[in-house]
């Protein structure tokens, strides 16, 4: 059996379990934002397509990516609950 000191050493991570879950959620939000930027390609490479200037690619996707990065910062800065550290 492990002693109490060994258990404390195992739990001595920089972030808590909840923080890592929130980081994964933030990463998923960022990936969704980049996926929203996809598309707009012209079927003929010799012709210009205005599809790249859609609201989704120019406005929505960068806002979603920025929100994901802000969520990541919050997930890192959030203090773990006391019950997780004991």
- Whether the Cβ atoms of residue 27 and residue 68 lie closer than 8 Å to each other: yes
Q: How far apart are CA 54 and CA 71, in angstroms?
A: 25
Q: How far apart are CA 82 and CA 76, in angstroms?
A: 16
Distance of CA 54 to the CA centre of its chain: 24
pTM of the complete model beyond 0.85 = no
Residue 82: the pLDDT is 59
The alpha-carbon radius of gyration of the chain (Å, integer) is 21
Who contacts 62 (Cβ-Cβ below 8 Å, separation ≥6)?
33, 37
- Whether the Cβ atoms of residue 23 and residue 70 lie closer than 8 Å to each other: no
User: Domain coordinates of the chain in residue numbers?
Assistant: 16-40+48-78
Residue 49: the pLDDT is 83
**pLDDT values of the chain reduced to their tens digit, one per residue, 86 residues:** 555 655 555 567 788 899 999 999 999 999 999 999 998 888 888 888 888 899 999 999 999 999 999 999 999 999 877 544 44
């Amino acid at each position: 059996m492990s002693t109490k000191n060994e258990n404390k050493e195992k739990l001595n991570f920089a972030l808590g379990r909840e923080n890592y879950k929130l980081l994964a959620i933030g990463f998923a939000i960022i990936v969704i934002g980049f996926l929203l930027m996809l598309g707009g390609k012209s079927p003929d490479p010799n012709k210009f397509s205005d599809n790249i200037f859609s609201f989704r690619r120019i406005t929505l996707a960068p806002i979603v990516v920025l929100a994901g990065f802000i969520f990541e910062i919050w997930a890192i800065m959030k203090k773990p609950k006391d019950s997780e550290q004991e």
